[in-house]
A and B are shown apart, each in its own frame.
Chain A
Amino acid sequence: MSLTVLATGPLTTVQDLGRPGQAALGIGRSGACDRASAALANRLVGNRADDAVLEVTFGGLTVRAGADLLVVTTGARCPGAPHAAPTVLRRGQQLRLGPPVSGLRTYLAVRGGIAVPPVLGSRATDLLAGLGPAVVATGDVLPIGEPVDPAPGVDLAPVPEPTAGELTATVLPGPRADWFGDAGWAALTGQAWTVTSESNRVGLRLDGAPLERLRAGELPSEGMVRGALQVPPSGLPVLFLADHPVTGGYPVIGYVTDADVDACAQLRPGQALRLRPGRP
Chain B
Amino acid sequence: MRLLPSGSAALLVELDGLDDVLALYAALSADPPHGVVDVVPAARTVLLMTDPAVTTLAAVADAVRTTTPRPDTRAVGDSIELPVHYDGADLADAAELLGLTPDELVARHTGAEWTVAFCGFAPGFGYLTQPGGQWEVPRRPTPRTAVPPGSVALAGEFSGVYPRESPGGWQLIGRTEVAVFDLAREPAALLRPGTTVRFVAVGR
Contacts and interface: CB of A to CB of B under 8 A. Distances in A.
Nearest to B126: A26
Contacts of A130: 164
Interface string B35-54: 00111111111110100100
A258 interface: yes
Q: How large is the interface on A (under 10, 10 to 19, 20 to 34, 35 or more residues)?
A: 35 or more
A259 interface: yes
Contacts of A175: 4-6, 12, 14, 45
B5 A25 contact: no
Q: How large is the interface on B (under 10, 10 to 19, 20 to 34, 35 or more residues)?
A: 35 or more
B122 interface: yes
A174 interface: yes
Contacts of B46: 223
A44 B171 CA distance: 53
Given A120-B183, A120-B188, A129-B123, A23 B40 contact: yes
Interface in B78-136: 118-126
Contacts of A120: 183, 188
Contacts of A129: 122-123
B10 interface: yes
Interface stretch (A96-104, A155-163, A249-257): A249-257
B8 interface: yes
B6 A220 contact: no
B41 to A, nearest CB: 6
Contacts of A29: 38
A166 interface: no
Contacts of B44: 220, 222
A145 interface: no
A174 B38 contact: no
A265 B121 CA distance: 24
Contact of B7 (A24, A27, A174): A174
B137 interface: no
A86 B143 CA distance: 51
Given A129-B123, A246-B40, A255 B47 contact: no
Interface in A207-259: 220-225, 227-228, 245-247, 252, 255-259
Nearest to B122: A26
Given A24-B118, A24-B119, A258-B8, A222 B43 contact: yes
Given A25-B192, A221-B42, A257 B8 contact: yes
A244 to B, nearest CB: 12
B6 A225 contact: yes
Interface of B: 4-10, 12, 14, 29, 37-47, 49, 52, 118-126, 164, 183, 188-189, 192-193
Given A26-B189, A130-B164, 9 more contacts: A23-B38, A23-B47, A24-B41, A172-B5, A173-B5, A174-B4, A223-B47, A255-B7, A257-B8
